[in-house]
Amino acid sequence: MDRKLERILPKVQKPARYVGGEYGQIIKDKNDVALRMALCFPDVYEIGMSNTGMRILYQTLNDIPGVWCERVFAPWFDMDRKMREEKLPLWALESGDPLGEFDALGFSIGYEMAYTTVLEMLDLAGIPLLSRDRESLIPLVFAGGSACCNPEPMADYFDLFVIGEGESLDGEVLELLRRARDQGWTKERFLHQAAQIPGVYVPSLYKPEWKEDGTLLAVRPLPGAPERVTKRIVEDFENSCFPVRAIVPSTEIVHDRVGLELFRGCIRGCRFCQAGYIYRPVRNRSVEKLLEQGRQALEFSGYQEITLLSLSSSDYQSLPALCDGLLEYCEPRGIGLSLPSLRADNFSMDIMQRVQKVRRSGLTFAPEAGTQRLRDVINKNVTEEDLLRSCAVAFRGGWNGVKLYFMLGLPTETDEDVLGIAELADRVVHCWRENAPNRARGLRVTVSTSCFVPKPHTPFQWEGQVTREEYLRRVTLLRENMKARAVTYNWHDPETSFTEAVLSRGDRRIGPLLRDIWEQGGYLESWSEGFSMARWEQAAARTGVDLEFYANRARALDEVLPWDRIDMGVRREHLIREREQSRQGVLSPDCRAACTGCGAAALLRGGRCDG
């Protein structure tokens, strides 16, 4: 271990974040590998190590002969300061080597608030921030992850983006990079060639032009660049990589358990939900495969908890059989099984009784909106009766606490919808009174609201976000009407939702804004310690960026959008149709009830999804 690092470690919080050496890490001889890749996660260790995508990519990339993929996370503020004081460049955990020694740096970006952390990590590694300032091919700096479905805000910084599921694509990029490096290609030649790989977006090959009113005139592809970049997906999800031998961290992380991925995509079609649209089409794993993977992962890791991962676990058709199979293994070994992402409409006593056999976890539902009208607008497909029936089942089963998540500022929301949240919370309290077998234990209903952020590639991508002032007015209205003593109301601050809205639908002019924010000390901005609205406002004033233009402005349907060159599989006409349906409060069926023809099935050979 570097002596400078040894001197620093006693002076920082949670030094285990920075040393590696965990059970399951992959060590290769760097002299025997053809290409070294740093898999970078722009957040701290505990968050990055909890990320399923990171686990999958780490395994997938290390399975490629000749490739050694190592992990890199952002240091917390105390470590960052010490590293700068000691001039210690950012290193990868496995080898301890600085990032400058790697052939490729691949960033996994799941949320927009991580953008400035990318800049911090590049700078800590001593690597120029702007793609155009990195003249040589090595190191290639690229990104993937769900935030990259609008790559434009970070277009100046990355050499290329991989759109869609990285496990199907990253290897092809690295193979081309290896050939290009060995044959002495220029970076320009490599990028032109890389742009021919389906799913690769090379931002320098697209030129945005703006109208006088500030909206986009076009994002023009330069010669040789594809008109549209279609996301890549794993077609054979049943047999795709699931890391049963994943690293077991030596320090506690956020999701410290085995996570079993049931399926990708979602059958539901909630109109606000980006994940529900960009991870289409639905692809399932079989119960047999999941049981085998679950057992293997538990045996390898020694974890005492396993959780089921998906966008909506209760929509997994064989869920009872899976729970029974897992519990057959888990129960005698004292291993807990938890089921997040349950929907209020099909939650059942049967499933609940199964999962609480070993350890009982919390109960959380996300009705998202307080009235049926608004739930229909967003296509949530959950009725108040569904929710109250599920709560009744839970209360009769002994639960005495429930968390309810809502959004404020959804399209067409009125004060009546806001007050509907308080009324719904009151009905949950009433339901508990009628069903709880032991009322002496009391009840805790936690209602949380966040501000709706319109996201690209959803039917609400054209909507404006409500202003911060309006969001706070609705928060106040709700707070004043939340009367029951058993109900606790938490609300998310509007500032981060506002900035997230700016970044989500930003264009290439956001790049200099991000740099300015970073230069003033902004990074790890998803943490309150790293975020400052004043810093954002000052940076916006300096760079001439009108934040409200990006966050609060509704887009016309014929407006050119920054992400129009990216095809996530769902047809634009489908998004427009869904938007119109939402205006009329008309529900769309889930994919199992009837196919709405979104277009995503065309990404699969054979064109049939598992919805």
Partner 1 sequence: MDRIRLLYECTGRSAWSSHLDTMRTLQRALHRASVPVRYSEGFNPHALISVLLPLSVGTESLCQLADVRLRGDVDLAALPGTLNAVLPEGLRVQRCYENGAKPGELKWLRVKGTWEYGGGDMAAAAEALAGRFRDTPVQVTRRTKRGEGTLVLSDHLRDLTFSPRTDSVAVEAVISAAEPVINPEWIADAVAQNWPELRPEGTRFCRQELYREDMSVFR
Closest residue by Cα to residue 555 from 506, 510, 508: 506
Pick 19 or 309: Cβ nearer partner 1? 19
Largest Cα separation within the chain, whole Å, is: 75
Closest CA to 290 of 315, 312, 258: 258
Residue 39: what are its φ and ψ, rounded to 5°? -90, 105
Indicate the residue among 62 and 465 with the shorter CB distance to partner 1: 62
| Residue 48 main-chain phi, psi, to 5 deg | -60, -40
Distance CA 28, CA 66 (A): 9
Q: Which is nearer to partner 1, 251 or 412 (CB)?
A: 251
User: Is the Cβ of residue 248 or residue 484 nearer to partner 1 in the bound state?
Assistant: 248
Percentages helix, strand, coil for the chain (3-state, rounded to 5) are 40, 15, 45
| Upstream peptide bond of 221 is cis (omega within 30 degrees of 0) | no
Closest CA to 579 of 388, 366, 411: 411
Nearer to partner 1, 6 or 133 (CB): 6
* Residue number with CB closer to partner 1 (128 or 334): 334
Least distance from C-beta 305 to partner 1, angstroms?
11
Q: In DSSP terms, which residues pair with 306 in a beta bridge?
A: 258, 337
Quick one: 224 or 302, whose CB is closer to partner 1? 302
| CB 297, min distance to partner 1, A | 12
Residue showing tokens 């047809």: 571
In whole angstroms, the minimum distance from the beta carbon of 410 to partner 1 comes to 37
- Going by the DSSP 8-state scheme, the letter that residue 463 receives in this structure is P
Rank residues 199 and 336 by Cβ distance to partner 1 and give the closer one: 336
DSSP category for residue 370: S
Three-class SS state of 491? strand
User: Which of residues 23 and 576 has its CB atom nearest to partner 1 in the complex?
Assistant: 23
Nearest-approach distance from CB 294 to partner 1, in angstroms: 14
Measured from the CB of residue 446, what is the shortest distance to partner 1 in angstroms? 20
Min dist. Cβ of residue 334 to partner 1 (A): 5
Q: How far is the CB of 21 from partner 1 (least distance, A)?
A: 3
Q: Which residue, 260 or 422, is less far from partner 1 as judged by CB?
A: 260
Rounded to 5 degrees, φ, ψ at 125 are -85, -5
Q: In whole angstroms, how close is the CB of 105 to partner 1 at the nearest point?
A: 23
Q: Write down the least CB distance from residue 7 to partner 1, Å.
A: 4
CB of 18 to partner 1, least distance (A): 8
Q: Least distance from C-beta 154 to partner 1, angstroms?
A: 33
Which positions ≥6 away from 235 have C-beta within 8 Å? 168, 283, 603, 604, 605
Give which of 135, 25, 157 is closest to 512, Cα–Cα.
157
Nearer to partner 1, 361 or 520 (CB): 361
Tokens of 381: 């497909």
Residue 490, helix vs strand vs coil: strand
In the complex with partner 1, which residue's Cβ is closer, 45 or 107? 45
Length of the chain, please?
A: 611
For residue 194, what is the enclosing H or E element? helix 187-194
Spatial distance between the Cα atoms of 250 and 33, rounded to a whole number of angstroms: 27
Cβ distance to partner 1 smaller for residue 29 or 212: 29
Tell me the C-alpha distance between 229 and 208, whole Å.
Answer: 16
What is the smallest separation between the CB atom of 98 and partner 1, expressed in angstroms? 18
CB of 23 to partner 1, least distance (A): 4
CA–CA–CA angle 196, 569, 106 (5° rounding): 50
| Strands 283-284 and 160-162, sheet pairing | unpaired
What CA–CA distance (Å, rounded) separates 510 from 506? 6
Q: Is 258 or 404 the residue whose CB approaches partner 1 more closely?
A: 258
Q: What is the C-alpha to C-alpha distance for residues 507 and 497, in angstroms, rounded to an integer?
A: 17
Where on the chain is the footprint of partner 1 (CB under 8 A)?
1, 6-7, 9-10, 14-16, 18-23, 248, 250-252, 299-304, 333-334, 359-360
Q: Quick one: DSSP state of residue 189?
A: H
Contact partners, residue 555, CB within 8 Å, separation at least 6: 215, 461, 462, 505, 561
The minimum distance between CB 340 and partner 1, in angstroms, equals: 18
**Structure-token pair, residue 394:** 């839970």
Full strand arrangement of the beta sheet holding 401-408: 364-368, 401-408, 444-451, 487-491
User: Residue 309 belongs to what H/E stretch?
Assistant: strand 305-309
